[in-house]
Structure formats: C-alpha cells, structure tokens
Amino acid sequence: MKKPILLRTIFADNLVVVIFLVITAAAVPVSGLPLLSIAQEIVTRIGRNAFLVFSLILPIMAGMGINFGMVLGAMAGQIGLIFAVDWNIVGVPGLIFASMIGVPIAALLGWMAGEVLNRARGREMVTGFILAFLMDGVYQFVVLYLMGFIIPLHSITIKLSRGYGVRNTLNLDAVRQTLDRLIPLKIGGLTFPIANYLVMAVLCIFIVWFRKTKLGQDMRAVGQNQVVSHAAGIPVERTRILAIVISTIFACIGQIIFLQNMGNMATYNAHKQTGFFAAAAILVGGASIAKATIPNVFVGVVLLHLMYIVVPRAGTNLFGSAMIGEFFRDAFSYGVIALALVLHAWRKRANADSARSGLRGGAAGNRTEPPATIAAADAGAGK
C-alpha cells in the first residue's frame, strides 16, 4: 500500500522538472543560439539569481510555504543601494555598505511580516503575496515622497527634478558588476563570476550548519506539527517569525547581488517580480511547498533561466514573433507554480490516506499477527 504511493510521489516530484527539461531541450536547437553563449548566460545568471532563491528555503522548512513576502527584503536591499549610490561608495565596499544599510531594514520588515503571517495561519502564501503589494505602496511612499524631503539625499544626480523623490532608473555605475569581476576566471571562453559563487558557497554552508542548530531543528519541528511542537515547549510563533526574518535578510542581500549584475535599477519596479521568479525557480527545481533542498535551488535556477533564454528565440524562429515565446515562457512559469502547488496538495491527501490505510478493510485489521520488528523487540524484552 505504501510503496506505489512512494513511487508516484517520486514521479510527481520530478514531473515538473521533466516537463521543463523536455520543453527546453526541444527549444535549444530551435532557438539557434550558440551553446557557448547559452552556457555563458547560465553561468552568469546562477551567480546573479541563485542567492535570491535560497531565501525561500527556511520558510518552507518552517512549514510556511513559499515566502512571497521576500519582496520586502528586496525592497530593503534597494534602499541600501540607493544610499550607497547616493554617497557614491565605490566597488565591492559599496555593495557591503548597501547590505549593511539594507539588512537592519530587512530584519525589521521581516519581523513585521512574520507577525502578520502568524495571524494568517494556513494562508501564509497568499497573505505574503498581498503583503508584498501592500509594502510596495509603503516603499513607493518612502522612496518617491520622503526621500529628499524628510530622509536626506546627498546627491542631486539621483533626485527627481522636482527636488525630492528618487529617479525611475538608478544607474549603479559605482558598483556595477564589481562583485562579478572581483575574481575573474576564464575557462574556454566562459567567464565565471567566482566571487558570487564564493558568497553562495558561504550561504550554502550557513544553511547546512543552520539545519544542525537547535533553531533549525525547531523550525523543522514547527514545520511538521505546530501542536506537538508547542506541547513540547518550542516557541512556535517566534520560530516562524525568525524563519521569515532570516529569509527576508537573504532576499535583501540577494537583491543587491542581482542588481549589481544588472548595472542599473528600476527604482519602482525592480522588486516586483522577484518573488515570482524565485518561487518559479525553486519549484521548477523540484521543491514542494513543504520540502526544499539546496540542489533544488541550483537545478531550478538553471532550468528556469535556460528556458527564459532559449524559448523567446525559439518562438521567434518558429512563429516569427518573439512575443509568443515571451508570453509562452511566462504562461509556463505561472503554470508550473500552480501545477507544483496542486501536485503538493494532491500528494498530501494521498499520504494521509496511505497512513490510515492500515485501519481500513475491517476484519483484516492490524490486530492479527504482530510485525516482525516487534518480534525482534520481544527477544530484546526477554533478556
């Protein structure tokens, strides 16, 4: 009874990945892009996007689903960058400076988000989603009206001509790609942003270590059963909040890394799709809203971005219109998220049934012969 379900689960897990592989594999030749340039793109985009995706792992571990509220972190990161650019702090130090401004803000926002999500048990995801919209309004208010008005801005070059508020597009010359270029490495025509990878490696080590800590353990416990955890004396609410706080902080740093690679920042839009891309990536990577691993992140980023690179071109070559390809990849990414969520729900039900299957079928119930394992234990009791 258990086994087939297990197999089906494994299939379901990879279903998303498989679909994705098939589509992209088909699209690569059609797109007619040289493999080398595709590879180069992927290499860069891993360095650029993976960090953001990592920020989703902990909340999933804590059973809060995908933290669409990570966008709050992205906003904090952007505020950090605004100040770094405003004071023209150059190079990697500029990035660090931006993070040091951003992280406390992110922590604060994360705490608030955690409080909100604790009040919305069972619908964390949609709440986080709307919360991102709400805070976008606040962000706009701060950056567009308060900056240069109450919050002092130093440089006129980033101000709107009316004297307050930040420009639509911020050019990040001071820090552009400084991290990517910090430790350059060229292998056969591919340039690797080693520094980014190092940062990421540190992050991975942190996550692995964190899983080993008491807090990490508590998060797993809370994620699986809040009632039992509470009965055991684990501060459930606080643990959940911490998960969100950490996630938000990661998102903040992630956004900074992302933007330094982009080289300029759409002040009022850059953060809007962050949550969506991260969620799509981690789900494409085979994660569910209950379980996510480090490999999921990398697989996801590679697959998602491979598709984002090749499909539009393929669309152009097939239908003579890039739009089709672009819409297709969007429709597909959205669809994948929905699919992953549905699969998860379906799987949860299947497991619940299998768990109780022993109690069904009446007369052939579990009262008859004892399991072998117990027999062994019996011997243990004997001596």
Partner 1 sequence: MLKRLPGRPLFFHKGSAMVKSQPLLCLDGISKDFYGTVVLKDVSFTLEKGQILGLVGENGAGKTTLMRILFGMPVIAETGGYGGRVMIDGETVGFSNPFDALDAGIGMVHQEFSLIPGFTTTENIMLNREIKHPGIMVELFGERLSVLERATMRTRTEKAVQRLGVRIDPDMLVSEMPVGHKQFTEIAREIDRENVRLLVLDEPTAVLTETEADILLAALKKLAADGISIIFISHRLHEVLQICDKIVTLRDGTVVKDVPAAGHTVRDVASWMVGRDMGAARAVQRRTLEAKEAFRVDHLWVDMPGETVKDVSFSVRDGEIFGIGGLAGQGKLGIPNGIMGLFPSGGHALLHGKELPMGDPKSVLDAGMAFVSEDRRGVGLLLDESLDWNIAFTAMQVKGQFLKPVLGGLFRLRDEKAMRELAEDYIGKLEIKCTSCKQPAKELSGGNQQKLCLSKAFALTPKLLFVSEPTRGIDVGAKKLVLDTLRHYNRDFGTTIVMVSSELEELRSICDRIAIVDEGRIAGILEPDADLADFGLLMSGQGGSR
Partner 2 sequence: MTDAGIKGRLVSAVRDFGWPRVIIFIFVVLLFLAAPFVGVSVSASLSDVLNRFGQNAVMVLALVPMMQAGAGLNFGLPVGIIAGLLGATLAVQFGLTGWVGFLAAIVLCLPFAIGFGWLYGRLLNKVKGEEMTIAMYVGFAGVTFMSIMWIILPYTSPNMVWGYAGTGLRTTITLDGYWTRILNDFLAVRIGQFFIFPTGVLLFFGLAALGMRLFMRSRTGTAITAVGSNPDFARAGGVSADRMRTISVVVSTVYGAIGILVYQQSFGFIQLYNAPLYMAMPAVAAILLGGASVNKASLVNVMVGTFLFQSILTMTPSVINSILQTDMSEVIRILVSNGMIIYALTRKSKVTK
Partner 3 sequence: MKVPTQKPKAAQMQAQTKTRRILLRLALLVVYVALAVALFIFNRGHTVLVDNKGDPAGTFQAFELMKVSIDGGKGMEFFKGDRDKFTVVGQRHRIRIEFPDGSKPAFEGRFIVPLGGDLFLLSVPKMVAGLEPFIEPFVVARSPLPSEEDALPLVPDVPEPILGPDGKPILALPTATPADTAGK
Work out how close the CB of 123 gets to partner 2 at its nearest, in angstroms, rounded to a whole number: 6
Is there binding between residue 221 and partner 1 (CB under 8 A)? yes
Distance CA 197, CA 43 (A): 10
**Dihedral sign of CA atoms 76, 77, 78, 80 in order:** positive
Distance CA(22)–CA(47), nearest Å, equals 24
For residues 275 and 68, the answer to whether their CB atoms sit within 8 Å is yes
Return the ∠ at Cα 184 (arms to 182 and 187), rounded to 5°. 160
**Residue for token pair 């990414």:** 333
**Largest Cα–Cα distance of the chain, in whole Å?**
88
Query: One symbol per residue from 113 to 152: x for binding partner 2 (CB under 8 A), - otherwise; what is it?
Result: ---x--xx-xx-xxx-xxx-xx-xxx-xx--xx-------
The answer for residues whose C-beta is within 8 angstroms of residue 167's C-beta and 6 or more apart is 158, 159, 160, 267
Among 141, 145, 209, 334, binds partner 1 (CB under 8 A): 209
Q: Does 183 bind partner 1 (CB under 8 A)?
A: no
In the numeric block, which tokens belong to residue 345? 């729900």
**DSSP letters along 337-358, please?**
HHHHHHHHHHHHHHHHHHHHGG
Q: Which does 29 bind (CB under 5 to 8 A by kind): partner 1, partner 3, partner 2, none?
A: none
CA distance 142 to 272: 16
Q: Which of 134, 131, 135 is nearest to 119 (CA)?
A: 131
Q: Closest distance between partner 2 and the C-beta of residue 321, in Å?
A: 6
Under the binding rule (CB under 8 A), the answer on residue 318 touching partner 3 is no
Q: Which is nearer to partner 2, 72 or 257 (CB)?
A: 72
Our CA angle for 276, 278, 283, nearest 5°, is: 95
Q: Is 7 in the site for partner 1 (CB under 8 A)?
A: no
265 forms beta bridges with 170
Question: Is residue 176 near partner 3 by the rule CB under 8 A?
Answer: no
| Sole binder of partner 3 in the list 250, 258, 308, 332 (CB under 8 A) | 308
Q: Which amino acid, 14?
A: N
Footprint on residues 324-363 left by partner 1 (CB under 8 A): 355-356, 358-363
The count of residues interacting with partner 2 (CB under 8 A) is: 38
> Nearest-CA neighbor of 69 among 8, 123, 22?
123
Shortest Å distance, C-beta 306 to partner 3: 15
Residues 207-246 that bind partner 3 (CB under 8 A): none
268 is a site residue for partner 3 (CB under 8 A): yes
331 binds partner 2 (CB under 8 A): yes
Q: Is 197 exposed, middle or buried (0-12, 13-18, 19+ CB in 10 A)?
A: middle
In the complex, the residues that contact partner 2 under the rule CB under 8 A are: 65, 116, 119-120, 122-123, 125-127, 129-131, 133-134, 136-138, 140-141, 144-145, 289, 319, 321, 323-324, 327-328, 330-331, 334-335, 337-338, 341-342, 345-346
In the complex, the residues that contact partner 3 under the rule CB under 8 A are: 87-91, 93-94, 96-97, 100-101, 133, 136, 140, 144, 155-157, 159-161, 165, 167-169, 171, 174, 266-269, 272-273, 308, 312, 326-327, 329-330
In the complex, the residues that contact partner 1 under the rule CB under 8 A are: 209, 212-215, 217-218, 220-221, 224-225, 227-229, 231-234, 355-356, 358-363, 365-371, 373-381
